[in-house]
Amino acid sequence: MTQEIIPVGYQGVPGAYSHLALQQYFEGKLVRAQNFMIFEDVVAAVMDGTVRYGVLPIENSSTGGITEVYDHVRRYGAFIVGEKIVKVEHCLLGLPGAKMEDITEVYSHPQGFSQCRDFFKKHPAMRQFNYYNTAKAAEMVAEKKELHKAAVAGAQAAEQYGLAILARGINTNQSNYTRFIIISRQQELAPDADKITLIVSLKHQPGSLYRVLSHFARYQINMTNIESRPIPGQPWEYYFHIDITGHLTDEPVQKALVDLPEDTTECKILGNYRADHGKEARS
């Protein structure tokens, strides 16, 4: 029997952390990976059927939520069907033969730079230039073949583009992880799902957020994350992206979801999926 080929999209180029998350999440399956330039292109490709799944970074343990991704998932109406946590170890990558003292220009995604602030404080001669993606920056450095140029990216990007690792583990926080979500245009519900993501918009009234959160507390449901995002076209009004533990068939979860509309103007379940409990999340 021929194994099914699963089309999956990600942002960046081969060697990017998103590509690594894709490989780890779909390990053992036959995948046709398709890369896109920006996050929105990944979401659009999922929703128009170009790919079945998309892999997107949603949160970093050092720099917090990636707000652009929250907004695209909500606006396009995508569903979350899984997650993968990847340990991030940034490296300074240069051409083979380059030395640290040669480097005057460094390219990377702004998130990459923000996670390596202490390193660059110690090397003020290295000017930082924002680029689309960490691995894309590595690809550019390899193509330019100029000894004074370097990139901040993962070791996998060095291998992908034939670069040398001039400094390893330059991120300030050595326990640096990025959580990736797997999105689809259709909701999926696995028997072992133990995490629920939902979005709620609140009534513009005193105590509305407190009342919403009280529903989870009342039924002893653990909330693992909450992010607020402005509602386009409605100044000073916000929607909240909330992660809780549980399965949609659990009685406490069902009771809380029945009560939520009392204090919300919008309540949508984005997904119920298995949280990543792998060794990368704990180490």
Nearest to 278 by CA among 172, 153, 155, 179: 179
Distance CA 86, CA 171 (A): 14
Q: Are 62 and 128 in contact (CB under 8 A)?
A: no
Q: Residue 128: its pLDDT value, please?
A: 98
Give catalytic status of residue 180 as yes or no.
yes
* Phi, psi at 262, each rounded to 5°: -60, -30
Q: What share of the chain is helix, strand, coil (3-state, %, to 5)?
A: 30, 35, 35
SS3 76: helix
Query: Torsion angle, CA of 116/163/37/19, rounded to 10 degrees?
Result: -80
Q: Residue 281: its pLDDT value, please?
A: 45
Q: Are 255 and 248 in contact (CB under 8 A)?
A: no
Distance CA 113, CA 111 (A): 5
pLDDT band at 3 (very low <50, low <70, confident <90, very high): confident
For tokens 């607020």, name the residue: 228
Mean local confidence (pLDDT), 79-93: 96
Q: Residue 1: its pLDDT value, please?
A: 64
Q: Are 92 and 166 in contact (CB under 8 A)?
A: yes
- What Å distances lie between residue 116 and 60, 62, 113, 170, CA to CA? 13, 10, 5, 6
Averaged pLDDT of the chain: 93
Mean local confidence (pLDDT), 157-185: 95
Residue in 178, 197, 216, 264 annotated catalytic: 178
Whether residue 147 has pLDDT greater than 60:
yes
Whether residue 81 has pLDDT greater than 90:
yes
Q: Residue 277: its pLDDT value, please?
A: 83
Mean local confidence (pLDDT), 102-118: 94
SS3 75: helix
pTM: 0.88
Residue 167: half-sphere exposure toward Cβ, Cα within 13 Å: 18
Q: Are 42 and 7 in contact (CB under 8 A)?
A: no
Helices 67-76 and 39-47: crossing angle in degrees, nearest 10, is: 20
CA angle 42, 115, 129 (to 5 degrees): 75
Q: Residue 278: its pLDDT value, please?
A: 67
SS3 35: strand
pLDDT digits (tens, 9 = 90+) for 9-32: 999 899 999 999 999 999 999 999
What H or E segment, with its residue span, contains residue 259?
A: helix 251-259
Residue in 36, 39, 79, 180 annotated catalytic: 180
Mean local confidence (pLDDT), 247-256: 97
Q: Which two tokens stand for residue 142?
A: 């390899």
